[in-house]
Amino acid sequence: MQTIIHKKTIKVSIVTLPILIVIYLGISMYFSNHFYYGFVINGIDASCKTVEEVDAEMLTKSKTYTLDLKERNGVKEQIKANEIGLKYNVKDKIQALKESQNSFTWIFSFFSPKTSEMNGIVTYDNKLLKERFDKLAVSDSKKIIEPKNVSFKFSDKGYVIVKEVKGNKVDSKQFYANLVSAIVKGETTIDLEARNYYINPKYTSTSQKVKNTKILLNKYITSKITYTFSGDEEGLDGSIIHNFLGVDENLEITFDKDKMDDYVKKVDDNYNTYGKQRNFATSLGKTVKVSGGDYGWLVSRSGEVNDLIVAIKAGQTIAKEPHYIQTAASHDINDIGSTYVEINLTKQHLWFYKNGSLVVQGDVVTGGVSNHHQTPTGVYKLKYKEKNATLKGEGYSTPVDVFMPFNGGIGIHDLAARSSFGGSVYLTNGSHGCINCPPILAKTIYNNIDANTPVICY
């Protein structure tokens, strides 16, 4: 039985094979003047078509071609063949392409359809295309809406997120290049959104980094910083702090140091006494106004701005004094305190008080009037004290036992060479600006004074 079936199969195969060969050769003959199945030339379907049919279709398409543009917000536009001088330069190129196909390998086209892009077949007028492109909505500056990143707005309840603006601005250079490519390939539709031609905001309201930045902003405005001065106080909280804060394009929080400096300037007016005019109660019972000098409280604005940034970032609630470059003895109206040197330039007399008690006083000789070296008025701080110094200047070199400078090279020192002090000596035989003292007066001051002690000249 099996032998009979086997013989029948062989007979069928012998009969069928020639038929299949004839069919294959017949189809091959068909594809000798028709393009392969699934073959596309520059966007035109050439599948199973003759060269003449493809030529005709290309000629028709050169007149009817339309490229549809799908834009954002439902905007639709078209670029038509006649608007850009579109032509299909066929000549013998299609015939040459057909001849390059082996008609006997047609069967493979059913498994792997091919697309051919031939250079020079599709031509257009560059100038006309550029003019048409410039007339598109995406090229009209009046219709372009710039994309905007998400932003943040301060409110009574803290910061809220202001949603981004997607806009409709495209990357013109990229879009134009791809537009040309689409025309050459015979594409009929471009969806700008799908192809990512739009310039979008970097961050949206749903970005995690946006949420993190909002959390930080709200932390910063919870800070409360209180300055106390002269029985009053200045409070810094979110209602002011938000004016200092900004967010850059990378969603990093920034601090406006100029605005912070302006704020610190207002605050330090309540603290700074450096160089300011003071009412000074003299040893003679009279109150005088003294201005100038380098003594007093002096706020470091840059230092205070940096201190504030640290406190704000930490969300601190603190009471603080400003960041000082220089301090004084007291925050009272009289910041001089109870330890100071008082020099009456008119009376040519000096008093030295320590902790409110008079340590020593005596007549002195100050800067000469006749030689224009008058001692400047003002409130100064003692810079340091030194033993066995030699004072040098133009035309003189004077050794002294003790020297206590308070204004540049001007200081308090002994001068044993002088036989008289006080009175009107300074009018005709004054110093070069220093305070000349009898040796015992100078040494007593030296033994009891420290650097930074106020020296008042009036």
| 11 has a pLDDT exceeding 60 | no
**pLDDT number for residue 44:** 72
> How much is the mean pLDDT over the chain?
88
Q: Which two tokens stand for residue 112?
A: 């792997």
**pLDDT number for residue 280:** 96
Q: What is the mean pLDDT of residues 283-298?
A: 96
Q: State the catalytic residue, choosing from 242, 413, 432, 457.
A: 413
| 348 has a pLDDT exceeding 90 | yes
Lowest-confidence region among 26-30, 183-187, 330-334, 449-453: 26-30
Same domain flag for 444 and 376:
yes
pTM here is 0.68
Q: Which two tokens stand for residue 135?
A: 């007339």
Domain CATH for 222: 3.10.20.800
Lowest-confidence region among 57-66, 246-255, 291-300: 57-66
- Number of domains the chain is built from: 2
| 79 has a pLDDT exceeding 60 | yes
Give residue-wise pLDDT tens across range 126-147: 999 999 999 999 999 999 999 9
| 105 has a pLDDT exceeding 90 | no
* 3-class state of residue 208 by DSSP: helix
Same domain flag for 214 and 321:
yes
Top-confidence residue, 309 or 333: 309
Give residue-wise pLDDT tens across range 303-318: 999 999 999 999 999 9
Q: Which two tokens stand for residue 340?
A: 């100071």
**pLDDT number for residue 395:** 80
**pLDDT number for residue 13:** 56
Q: Domain for residue 238, yes or no?
A: yes
Most distant CA atoms of the chain, gap in Å: 157
Give residue-wise pLDDT tens across range 353-367: 999 999 999 999 999
* Surface-to-core class of residue 100, CB atoms within 10 Å of its CB (0-12 exposed, 13-18 middle, 19+ buried): exposed
Give residue-wise pLDDT tens across range 385-432: 999 999 998 888 999 999 999 999 999 999 999 999 999 999 999 999
Q: State the catalytic residue, choosing from 242, 434, 437, 457.
A: 434
Give residue-wise pLDDT tens across range 203-223: 999 999 999 999 999 999 999
Q: Domain for residue 174, yes or no?
A: no
Q: What is the mean pLDDT of residues 88-101?
A: 66
Same domain flag for 366 and 312:
no
| 300 has a pLDDT exceeding 60 | yes
Residue 413 annotated among the catalytic residues of the structure:
yes
Q: Domain for residue 311, yes or no?
A: yes
For 372, residues 6+ apart whose C-beta sits below 8 A from its C-beta are none
Same domain flag for 265 and 300:
yes
Q: Are 84 and 182 in contact (CB under 8 A)?
A: no
Same domain flag for 450 and 346:
yes
The pairing of beta strand 189-191 with beta strand 40-41: unpaired
Same domain flag for 301 and 388:
no
Domain range for residue 214? 209-276+296-326
